[in-house]
Structure 1
């Protein structure tokens, strides 16, 4: 998978405004209404990640999820990161996050 150049990353971040770039990663925090909902969000993200064979780093702190995406095999950000980011945004929105 090809790395995205800086201008393409900026464009894609404009389409996924909940995400921010930090070096070769994009990050987002999701706050769920409660802990069980946070776990349901993680479960749904896991299903999508398996479908795409692309897995985020997830840190769970009570009802707050810290998510990080990067295509480590490619050494940075690729289209796959933004595909999964958009799907994570849909999942979070469906749970009020």
Structure 2
């Protein structure tokens, strides 16, 4: 799987809700109305990640959850990361 070019990542970003490129990864922070809502979203994302065998880095700070996506084995952002970002967006929107 090839690492996406900067232009390819830039083209994908407008279709992703709140994602940005930071430090070589796609990142999105979401503030939930309560701590347990964030934990539940993380649980659902974890299930999807297991299904796809592609796991985001997840940082939980009280009600704010930050997801970071990069394909470490490829050394950058790939189509798998963009697809997982779309999946996370759908889960958050539920």
Q: Normalized against structure 2, the TM-score is what?
A: 0.95
**Structure 1 residue runs of 4 or more that deviate by more than 2 Å after TM superposition:** none
The CA distance in 2 between the partners of 1:76 and 1:46, in whole Å, is: 21
State how many pairs are aligned.
94
Q: 1:43-58, aligned counterparts within 5 Å? A: 43-58=43-58
Aligned to 2:36: 36
Structure 2: 5+ residue stretches without partners: none
Q: 1:1-97, aligned counterparts within 5 Å? A: 1-94=1-94
Structure 1: 5+ residue stretches without partners: none
Q: CA RMSD in A?
A: 0.9
- Residue by residue over 1:32-72, the C-alpha shift from the partner in whole angstroms, topping out at 9 and shown as x without a partner, is 11111111000000011011111111111111101111000
The CA distance in 2 between the partners of 1:23 and 1:65, in whole Å, is: 17
